[in-house]
Amino acid sequence: MTTTLRDADRVLRGVGVGRGAAVGPVVRVHPAPALPPAEPAVADPAAAVTAALDAVARDLDALAESADGTLREVLRATAAMADDEMLRTEALRRVAGGTAPARAVDEAVEEVCATFTAAGGYLAERVTDLRSVRHRVVARLLGLPAPGVPLLTEPSVVVAEDLAPADTAGLDPRLVLAIVTEQGGPTGHTAIIAGQLGLPCVVRAPGASVLEDGDRVAVDAAAGVVHRDPGPALRKQLAGRAADLRSLAEDTAPGATADGHPVALLANIGTAEDARALPPGAEGVGLFRTEVLFLSRAVAPAVEEQADVYAAVLASLGDRKVVVRTLDAGADKPLPFAGLPPEENPALGVRGYRLARRRPELLDDQLRALALAARRTGTEPWVMAPMVATPAEASAFAARARGAGLSTVGAMVEVPSAAWSASALLADLDFVSIGTNDLAQYTMAADRLQGDLTDLLDPWQPAVLGLVERTVTAARAAGRPVGICGESAADPVMALVLVGLGVTSLSMSASSLPAVRFSLRQHSRATCTEIARAALASPDAHGARAAASARVAPEVRRTLALPEQG
């Protein structure tokens, strides 16, 4: 580089995913193809569009077959977008009206994206994936190289405006040191896949576009910072921290506080492949997202097919705990076979357990399949329903699950009404699990996909912590376990607060387990309670985080590079 860098250009700030750090050269993702002023003429434009969509669908399906776990299912869903009837119809309609093939696809994608964005929820999250399909199809129509991650020849930091699942499919963890994106968010596909691969990641980093191929950068996920041209002192510091984090992963003892109070440390999974890949430090599964099996299916999977998948997960875990969440889908995660009409506000509509109001057979088949898998494997899975809002719903679900032959039944606490009525909710349940992502969304009336509202969505909001406390208090009085399976469980400081409130288990991405285990090991249960009291007494999210962080043991602060709180 021959240009002189300003100090402001040397540090890019975003949202960190994970605790890791890495230093290496930048490799930029190939950009999306731009439309030329005039496209080359083709003999049959409609046939060209159809062939390009078919080819991209095949390519994405092939990538899916070579991928593992959740990534495989995400890629399958993206491949299905290339076959989406709405997209094809819109593109071919434009071609029939005289629009050139690549421009027709571009315009059709933008129209579908607008529809998805307006729908919100899961559909809005798929806009990045849909545009990934657009880029691949347009590149094929124009005879250009496919956009995405280039072939890596050395360990590198991948930098992009955003990454679609198709871009991440070819990422080799041996050659990818870290990921940096200018867009995206901490719960998007890039963040999820980075967590699955154990890669340091910084998303939503304005200015990442100034980075060029070959620039040397230091990616600090714990601080959410990217340093351009890092000096020797910073490189040494980050290398030492990376070594510390690797050593933490060698500890696979059961989760516990310094004085031996047990806290089960569990993992979130979406597929049987995820279950088979769990490290020894995972004491079980606290959230098995079964909807991955259902998404992008033309028809619902049969009972036998579901049972095979559930049995594979249960067999992989052996005698370790497995908590299975029933189908969490609806208008925000549309199922082609469910026949649900569009909703103006799908986050508040027919989703989760409410789907049983219209398609009860989907839930009953799933419960039968899980019971069948339990009998085949000789295990006793736990099962819980998402989006339970009332004690009557909890009671009805418990009756259905036990009627199917399942003995340990619970519910997700994701809406304020469930937390507020937790005592009555637990009358017919064996456990509850708190989903802090949705609980924050519904408590603060803030859409999880609205980046401008991230301060309201912060799980450190005292109102959210107060509802967690109310739920835990009810569970303790009823003698029932209560877990956390939202993103807050992966925060080594928040984990102390949750344990101080009385939470009995924490479930997170497998790569987050070592840091949380280490943090708990350095604090007594009494200290965790003190930290929780300090957070609850704070007036706002910033104050709660600062109050908790100020009481964290120095060794944890140093090893995990926790940011200073002012």
Phi, psi (5° rounding) for residue 260?
Answer: 90, 5
158 and 133 share one domain: no
Cα 560 from chain centroid? Answer: 22
- pLDDT, tens digit, for every residue of 264-282? 999 999 889 889 999 999 9
Determine the pLDDT at residue 502.
98
The CA-atom distances, in angstroms, between 534 and each of 270, 497, 500, 551, 558 are: 35, 9, 10, 9, 21
Count of all residues that appear for the chain in the document? 566
Amino acid in the structure at residue 516: V
Query: Are 343 and 439 in the same domain?
Result: yes
The one catalytic residue among 135, 201, 227, 485: 485
If you ran DSSP here, which 8-state letter would residue 38 be given?
S
The total of other beta-carbon atoms located within 10 Å of residue 438's CB is: 21
Residue with the two structure tokens 């898998």: 373
Note whether residue 482 is domain-resident.
yes
Does the pLDDT of residue 8 top 60, yes or no?
Answer: no
Give, to the nearest 10 degrees, the angle between helix 513-521 and helix 232-248. Answer: 80
Asked whether residue 198 falls in the same domain as residue 274, the answer is no
Between 27 and 447, the higher pLDDT residue: 27
**CA dihedral of residues 399, 400, 404, 408 (deg, nearest 10):** -60
In a 13 Å sphere around the CA of 206, the CA atoms on its Cβ side amount to: 1
| Residue of 189, 201, 227, 528 marked catalytic | 189
- Do 465 and 400 lie in one domain? The reply is yes
pLDDT-based confidence at residue 6 (cuts at 50, 70, 90): very low
Q: Is 113 known to be catalytic?
A: no
Question: Which helix (H) or strand (E) element contains residue 289?
Answer: strand 284-289
Statement: residue 332 has pLDDT above 60 = no
Are 200 and 177 in the same domain?
Answer: yes
Check whether residue 327 and residue 184 sit in a common domain.
no
* pLDDT beyond 90 at 41: no
Residue 558 CA, chain-centre distance (Å), reads 27
Q: What is the pLDDT of residues 224-242, one digit of tens each?
A: 999 999 999 999 988 888 8
pLDDT of residue 16: 86
For the cut 50, the answer to whether the pLDDT of residue 310 exceeds it is yes
300-314, 402-416, 436-450: the lowest-pLDDT one:
436-450
Q: End of a domain among 142, 163, 198? A: 142
Count of domains in the chain?
3
Closest-CA residue to 284 (of 240, 252, 320): 320
* Confidence band of 362 (pLDDT split at 50, 70, 90): very high
- What is the model's pLDDT at position 385? 98
Is 248 part of any domain? no
Q: Which residue has the higher pLDDT, 156 or 561?
A: 156
User: What is the per-residue pLDDT for 3?
Assistant: 36
Q: So what's the pLDDT on residue 165?
A: 65
Work out the average pLDDT over 430-451: 87
Buried b (16+ CB within 10 A) or exposed e, 126-162: bbbbbbbbbbbbbbbbbeeeebbbeebeebbbbbbeb
Which of 396, 395, 370 minimizes the C-alpha distance to 381? 370
269 forms beta bridges with 288
Assess if residue 202 is contained within a domain.
yes
- Share of residues in the chain with pLDDT > 90 (%): 57
Q: What is the pLDDT of residue 396?
A: 98
Label residue 565 exposed, middle or buried (CB < 10 Å: 0-12, 13-18, 19+). Answer: middle
Same-domain check for residues 21 and 123: no
Strand partners, 321: 284
The structure tokens listed for 180 are 């940096």
Mean pLDDT of the chain: 88
Does 98 share its domain with 174? no
191, 211, 229: which is the final residue of a domain? 229
The whole-number pLDDT of residue 20 equals 84
The pLDDT assigned to 381 comes to 98
**pLDDT digits over 67-88, tens only?**
766 667 777 878 888 888 888 9
Burial class (CB in 10 A: 0-12, 13-18, 19+), 396: middle
Residues 421 and 466 in one domain: yes
In a domain, 5, yes or no: no
pLDDT at 1 over 60: no
128 within a domain of the structure (yes/no): yes
Give the structural domain span for 106.
45-142
Same domain, 108 and 91: yes
More reliable by pLDDT, 299 or 290: 290
Out of 26-35, 40-49, 133-142, 513-522, the most confident range is: 513-522
Q: String of b and e for 501-526 (b: at least 16 CB within 10 Å)?
A: bbbbbbbbbbbbbbbbbbbbbbbebe
Continuous segment of H or E residues that includes residue 153: none
Helices (H) and strands (E) in the chain, counts: 23, 16
Q: Where are the alpha helices (DSSP H) in 83-126?
A: 85-96, 101-119, 121-125
Residues 339 and 207 in one domain: no
Last residue of a domain, one of 142, 167, 192: 142
For residues 480 and 541, membership in a common domain is answered with yes
User: In CATH, what number is assigned to the domain containing residue 77?
Assistant: 1.10.274.10
The predicted-structure confidence for 443-484, as pLDDT tens digits, reads as follows 999 876 665 676 787 889 999 999 999 999 999 999 999 999
- Asked if residue 244 is part of any domain, the answer here is no
Quickly state the pLDDT bin for 333 (edges 50, 70, 90): low
Instruction: Encode pLDDT of 116-127 as tens digits.
Output: 777 666 666 677
Is 459 within a domain? yes
Q: Classify strands 11-13 and 225-228 as parallel, antiparallel or unpaired.
A: antiparallel
Least confident of 156-170, 204-218, 367-381, 528-542: 156-170
CATH number for position 19: 3.50.30.10
Here the CATH number for the domain that contains residue 475 is 3.20.20.60
Residue 138 three-state SS: helix
- Residue 359, domain member (yes or no): yes
pLDDT in tens, 173-214: 889 999 999 887 776 677 777 877 778 999 889 999 889 999
Q: How far is residue 23 from each of residues 63, 473, 520, measured CA to CA in Å?
A: 28, 45, 29
